[in-house]
Amino acid sequence: MKPRTRTELVPHTVDGKTRMVPVEIPVPAPPRDWDRAVLTGVTTIAALVVTASVIWSTASIGDLLTRVVIAPAAYGAAIVFDLVWIACMAVEWLSRYDEDSARLPRNAGHGALLVAMGAVAAHGWLAGYAVIGIVGAVVSGLAKGLWTVVLRHQTPQLDPRTREFLRQELADAGVTLAVMPVRRRVQRAQAMAEAERIALGPGPDADPDESGQGADGPDGEDAPSTSGPMTIKDAVRTALDSGISDPDRVLAYVRKVADANAKAETVATYIRRAKLAG
C-alpha cells in the first residue's frame, strides 16, 4: 500500500525571516476493515452464484421450450424465468426501510423462483433425468437463498415507530410529487380557456359598451386590467402553451392582453425562440 501523506504549512526561518512552507507529513494508514472485506467477498460470491444459476436455468428451460418454438425465441423466453425473481429481489432491496412495501416483491420473487425451479425440474423429467432436473432446480433455490441472506444482513432493523416515521415522510414526498403534474394540468387548462376566449373575441350578442361608460371608471379613473400586466414574450408563450400556433391568432392574442401596438415581426421572433427552446 502506498504510504499516505498530507500537506501542512510549517514555519521555516532563513536569515532571520520566517515563511510558511508546505511540508509532506506521513499519515498512518487506518486498520483494515475486515468486516467490509468479508461482506464484499460474500456479495461477489452471491453474484457469481446467481450468474451460474441464470446460465443453467436458461439453458435448461430454453432446451425445454425448443420442443415447440425456434431456439432464439425459446432461450429469450427462458431467461425471463430468472430475471423476474432477480428483479423482484432488487425491488425488495429498494424497499428495505418499509417492511410493508417489501412484502409484495418478496412474495412475488418467491413465486417466480418456484415457477423457474418447476420448469427446470420438468425439463429433467421429460429428458429422462429426473434427478438431474431436481438438482438443477435446487441451484436456483440456492442462488435466491444466498442473496436473501446477504440482503437481510444489510437490511437495518428498525423499530415500529421509526418505520412509521419514514412511511409518513415518504407519503408527504409522494403527495408533493403527485400535486406537481396536477397543478401543471390545471394551469394549462386555464391558460387554454383564457387564450381561446380572448382569441375568439366577444360573442355576437355582446354589447361593446355594456355599462354605457367609457374606458374610465365612474369616477374618471382607469378601469383595472382583468388579466394583469403581461409582456409580449409571456403572452406569446401563453398562447403557444394553449395550443394557438397560427401567427395571426398569436398576434391578435398578444395585442389583446399585452400590447395593442405589438409588431408582427416582434411576435414572430418570440414564436421562433419559443419553438427553439422547446
Cell of 13: 526561518
The 10 Å CB-count burial string (b at 16+, else e) for 109-141 is beebbeebbebbbbbbeeeeeeebbeebbebbe
Instruction: Please check the confidence at residue 49 and state whether its pLDDT lies above 70.
Output: yes
Rounded mean pLDDT of 26-34? 83
Instruction: Please check the confidence at residue 108 and state whether its pLDDT lies above 90.
Output: yes
Share of the chain above pLDDT 70, in %: 88
Share of the chain above pLDDT 90, in %: 29
**How confident is residue 134, by pLDDT bands cut at 50, 70 and 90?**
very high
Give the range among 101-110, 127-136, 190-199 with minimum mean pLDDT.
Answer: 190-199
pLDDT for res 205: 46
Residues 188 and 271 in one domain: yes
The sign of the dihedral angle between the CA atoms of 225, 227, 233, 236 is negative
Domain that includes residue 73, residue range: 42-157
Rounded mean pLDDT of 63-86? 92
Residues 118 and 185 in one domain: no
Residues 56 and 153 in one domain: yes
Judge whether 217 lies within some domain. no
pLDDT for res 207: 45
Give the range among 77-81, 133-137, 176-180 with minimum mean pLDDT.
Answer: 176-180
pLDDT for res 193: 83
pLDDT for res 116: 92
Which ranges in the chain belong to alpha helices (H)? 34-65, 71-94, 99-126, 130-154, 160-200, 232-241, 247-257, 264-277
pLDDT for res 219: 43
Residues whose CB falls within 8 Å of the CB of residue 223, separated by 6 or more in sequence, listed in order: 215, 216, 217
Residues 118 and 153 in one domain: yes
**How confident is residue 1, by pLDDT bands cut at 50, 70 and 90?**
low
Rounded mean pLDDT of 68-94? 92
Judge whether 63 lies within some domain. yes
Distances (CA, A) of 100 to 92, 97, 171, 260: 10, 9, 13, 60
Separation between Cα atoms, residue 202 and residue 83, nearest integer Å: 62
Given a contact cutoff of 8 angstroms between Cβ atoms, the answer to whether 56 and 94 are in contact is: no
Rounded mean pLDDT of 4-28? 87
Residues 52 and 98 in one domain: yes
Last residue of a domain, one of 129, 157, 185: 157
Residues 91 and 105 in one domain: yes
Judge whether 181 lies within some domain. yes
Last residue of a domain, one of 157, 178, 209: 157
Nearest to 241 by CA among 184, 179, 201: 184
Q: Half-sphere exposure of 37 toward its Cβ, with a 13 Å CA cutoff?
A: 4
**How confident is residue 76, by pLDDT bands cut at 50, 70 and 90?**
very high
Judge whether 213 lies within some domain. no
pLDDT for res 135: 92
The DSSP H or E segment spanning 14 is strand 4-14
pLDDT for res 185: 87
Instruction: Please check the confidence at residue 121 and state whether its pLDDT lies above 70.
Output: yes
Residues 189 and 122 in one domain: no
pLDDT for res 91: 92
Residues 166 and 141 in one domain: no
Judge whether 219 lies within some domain. no
**How confident is residue 206, by pLDDT bands cut at 50, 70 and 90?**
very low
Rounded mean pLDDT of 114-124? 93
Instruction: Please check the confidence at residue 261 and state whether its pLDDT lies above 60.
Output: yes
Longest dimension (CA), the chain: 102
Count of structural domains within the chain:
2
Residues 169 and 55 in one domain: no
Whole-prediction pTM? 0.56
Judge whether 26 lies within some domain. no
Residues 243 and 187 in one domain: yes
pLDDT for res 127: 87
**How confident is residue 214, by pLDDT bands cut at 50, 70 and 90?**
very low
Residues 58 and 152 in one domain: yes
Judge whether 104 lies within some domain. yes
Residues 139 and 119 in one domain: yes
Residue-wise pLDDT for 150-199, tens only, equals 888 888 888 888 888 888 888 888 888 888 888 888 888 888 888 877 77
Judge whether 267 lies within some domain. yes
